[in-house]
Amino acid sequence: MKKLINNPNNVVEEMIDGYVKAHPTYIKRLEENDRSLVTARKTTDNKVGILIGGGSGHEPGFLGYVGDGMADGVAVGNIFASPPPAPILEVTKAIDKGAGVVYLYGNYAGDVMNFGMAADLADMEDIHVEMVLTTDDVASAPIEEKEKRRGIAGEFFVFKTAGAAADQGYNLGEVARIARKTNEFTRSMGVGLTPCSLPQTGEPSFEIGDNEMELGLGHHGEPGIKKVPMDKADNIADELLKHIFADMPLNKDDEVAVLVNGLGSTPRLELYIMYRRVEQVLKEKGIHIYRSYVGDYITSLEMGGCSITLTKVDDELKKLIDHPVDCPMFVQK
Amino acid sequence: MSLSAREYLNYFKQVTEVIENEKDYLCELDRKLGDGDHGVTMSIGWQSVNEKLDTELLDETDCGKISSVVGMTFLNAVGSSVGPLYATGFIKGAKVLKNKTELTDSDIAEFWVAFVNGVKERGKAQVGDKTIVDTLDPFAKKLEAKFAESQDILAAFSEAVQAGERGMESTKDLISKIGRSSRLGERSLGVQDPGATSAYLIIETFQKVLEVESVK
C-alpha cells in the first residue's frame, strides 16, 4: 500500500505537528504532553470542559472536532489505540474552568480503562469528571447487550449536542445527560468494501473478495456480522436501515438527524447516492429529516465503505444540533 | 537461587527482543480477530521500555523502581488496552519488590502472582473469555501452588509456564467474550488470542532467564 509518510513510527507525531501548524488560531499543543491538544480560543467562564479522544486514523475524529461549539481538548492515541491516561489528564487540567469536564469516547476496552484511570487521577486533583461512552453500532452486539456495543460514527452527534450544551451554559450533570440522551437515541451501522492498512505493517486490516462486502464492519476493520455479495447502493442502504429500524423503532412524524459517513476512501459521489436512498426510505415512512450530514466525519484510514447513522431528535436536541460550530475540520453556521 | 537487579533488567531487555522478533506473528493473529495491530502495539511499548533500560534504568538497583518504571513507560507509549493491563500488573508487582536489590525465590513467586492479580483486576476478564487472562491465570495459580509445595522456583516456574501455554492454546477453541474480538462471536473460533500469546512470550522469557541463572 502506498502512503505519503516518512517513518511509519512517527506518523502520529508528524500529523499533529502539521495540524497545529496549519490551524494555529484554532488549536495548540500543551507543553506538558505532546499528545494533548486544546483549543487556542478563549472560552466562556464557568463553561463545562468537553474532552474527546481516541486512536488516530479516524480523522476528522477526533482532533478535527476541537473548536467553538464542539470540544475544548483532545487526547490523541496511536493509530486505532486509546491514548494513555497521561495526555487525557493534562487536557483535563488545561480545560477545567471549575465547572468540571465531560469525557466523550467510544466504548472500547482500551478507552474504558485509560479514560477511567485518567478520571481517577483527575479526581485526586479535585476536578469533577463525567464519562459518557458511545454505543451506537447496532451490528456490534444484540440490543439486550447494548452496553457492549462499540461507538462508531454516531459519536459525531454526541460531540455535537454535548459540545453545544456546554457552550450554552449547561452544567456538568446536564451536559452529561445530553450526551447520554443523544447516545440513547442514536443508531449506526456500517458496511466495509475495502480494507485499510496500518502504516507500520502495510498489511490489509481484513480480507475481502473483489465482489464481497462486510456488513456491520467496525471502524478499525473489526469483522462485522457477515460477508455478503456486493450489491447496488439502494439495496445496501435498505439493508443498513433495516437493521437500524429493527433496533430503534421510528414512527411517522418522528424527526431524525442523518449522517452518511465515509470510511476514508469512498468518494462523496457514492455517499450522496447512499443518502439519496436514505431520504427516499425515510420519506416513505413519514419520518422527517431535521438535518443531514454527508461526508467523511469519522474514518478508518483509507478504508472503503460507509455507515448510516440516525439520531432521533426532540426540541431540546434540535436546538443543540443547530448550534453553530467552528472547528478546523467542521464548520456549521 | 537469587536474581540481581542487573539480571532483572536483563530480563526486560530480552523481552524487548522477543517481542520484536514475534511482532509480525502477533499482528497476523490479531488481523483475524481485531484490528491487526497487537504486534505493533507491543513493539511500540517494549521499544519505549528499551530506551528507558538504556538511560534512566541503566544503573538502577531497586527492582521495585525498575518494575514501576517499566509499567508506566509501557503505558505512556501505547495506551490501548494492553497499556493499562501491563502497567497495573507491573505496578502491583513493584510493591512486592520495593527497595529490593536482590530477588529471592519467594520474591519472584510473589511478584508474578501480584502481577497477574493486577492484570485481572484491571481487565475484569474471566478465564474462558479468550484474553490474556487465559494464559496468566493458570500460570499464576500453578506457580503459587507448586512453589508453596516445593519451594523450588525453577521447577514451579517451569510447570507454571506449561500451564500458561495450555491456557494460551485453549484460546483457539474459545469464543471471544471481551474486547474488540468479542463482536465476532463464533467467527473467533480457531484462532489463538494474540494477547494470550504475547503474555505467554513474556512469562516464557522469564523462565529462560531463571534457567540460565540456575546453571551459573
> What range does the domain containing B168 cover?
3-214
Residue type, A294: V
- The answer to whether the CB atoms of A110 and B181 lie below 8 A apart is no
Confidence band, pLDDT 50/70/90 cuts, at residue B183: low
State residue A248's pLDDT score.
96
Query: Does pLDDT of A202 surpass 90?
Result: no
> What cell does A253 get?
412524524
Write the pLDDT tens digit of every residue in A146-163.
Answer: 998 999 999 999 999 999
Contact of A241 with A308, CB cutoff 8 Å: yes
State residue B185's pLDDT score.
67
Confidence band, pLDDT 50/70/90 cuts, at residue A191: very high
How many structural domains is chain B composed of? 1
Q: Identify all chain B residues contacting A140, using CB atoms and an 8 Å cutoff.
A: 183
- The answer to whether the CB atoms of B81 and A110 lie below 8 A apart is yes
Query: Does pLDDT of A292 surpass 80?
Result: yes
Q: For the residues B49-61, what does the mean pLDDT come to?
A: 97
Write the pLDDT tens digit of every residue in A293-307.
Answer: 999 999 999 999 999
What is the secondary structure of A128-143 as a DSSP string?
A: -EEEEEE--BGGGS-G
- The answer to whether the CB atoms of B27 and A206 lie below 8 A apart is no
A288 noted as active-site residue: no
Which residues, 6 or more positions from A244, have their beta carbon under 8 angstroms from its beta carbon? Answer: A138, A187, A188, A189, A308, A310
**What's the pTM?**
0.93
State residue B34's pLDDT score.
77
- How high does pLDDT run on average in chain A? 96
A243 noted as active-site residue: no
- Asked if the ipTM is above 0.85, the reply is yes
Q: For the residues A126-151, what does the mean pLDDT come to?
A: 94
State residue A114's pLDDT score.
97
Write the pLDDT tens digit of every residue in B22-33.
Answer: 999 999 998 888
State residue B187's pLDDT score.
72
Q: For the residues A165-170, what does the mean pLDDT come to?
A: 98
Write the pLDDT tens digit of every residue in B99-115.
Answer: 999 999 999 999 999 99
> How far are the Cα atoms of A94, A99, B48, B112 from residue A31, in angstroms, in the given order?
11, 23, 20, 37
Catalytic residue among A23, A219, A220, A243: A220
Neighbours of A229 (CB within 10 A): 8
Contact of A115 with A103, CB cutoff 8 Å: yes
State residue B31's pLDDT score.
84
Instruction: Supply the CATH number for residue B155's domain.
Output: 1.25.40.340
Q: How many residues does chain B have?
A: 216
Question: Mind listing the domains of chain A with CATH numbers?
Answer: 8-185 (3.40.50.10440), 186-321 (3.30.1180.20)
> What cell does A290 get?
431535521
Using a pLDDT cut of 90, give the percent of chain B over it.
84
Query: Does pLDDT of B180 surpass 60?
Result: no
Question: Across the A/B interface, how many CB contacts are shorter than 8 Å?
Answer: 103
Contact of A251 with A312, CB cutoff 8 Å: no
More reliable by pLDDT, A224 or B123: B123
State residue B184's pLDDT score.
66
Q: Are strands A129-134 and A101-106 parallel, antiparallel or unpaired?
A: parallel
State residue B182's pLDDT score.
64
- How high does pLDDT run on average in chain B? 93
Q: Is B58 exposed, middle or buried (0-12, 13-18, 19+ CB in 10 A)?
A: exposed
Q: For the residues A170-187, what does the mean pLDDT come to?
A: 98
